[in-house]
Structure 1
């Protein structure tokens, strides 16, 4: 009889993850680095094609991850303490899924063992963004995207 190994994300709550486990849950889609607009009336969050200037459009990773808040003070740092606020994350986001008690999708890198599976599935922002320095903020609403539902 073989021992079945249960992955850490199925054994623990987000608040119990080690720092390394927490970081490994990120699928690398880059969606959280897109600028979002929130409807003041109903709270609906709309994603734009406009990415933070620190996002590398090819890797979908922050170019200054460890020091991002020094460069972008308003950068949202995801942490277990704010799980109840994860509603703005895309429905494919592993942090949001786990916070809602849902499983990771089959394409998630922790499931596939392949870092590029998020890109191969077409879930990432790779090749789909414009840098925030290219578009005036007052024009961002013209760049709402339909390929993300929040």
Structure 2
């Protein structure tokens, strides 16, 4: 009678991780809602008018090397803000008003629990305010525009 025999081999399994970051899915449509704009009073508006926070999660060991708003890493104050044209919705000839947008970098921390547990969380606040000059040519209505926020790692 023949007895069953066995043999085995050890198979190495290897993996490598790469630097990776992603925007928080809760920020899938971040929107800054500015208050009603009164062209005649624009010169009296100082500082920010509205803001939105954006969280970026990076795998452990991945560090953000740059944050850019409208392609500008230097847009970290209203004085250095990016001018963003807002277009009047649904109107021919696209009347626009302008707003300044800038960002501030918040602190980072390691996420203690949840779907991003162990990740490094980087928070940025995107801020917006009206420019100092009055814009009397702006007709009444609802205006929208966009600005890109990117992170490099």
TM-score (normalizing by structure 1): 0.22
More strand by share: 2
Structure number with higher helix proportion: 1
* Structure exhibiting the larger radius of gyration computed from Cα positions: 2
Q: TM-score, normalised by structure 2?
A: 0.22
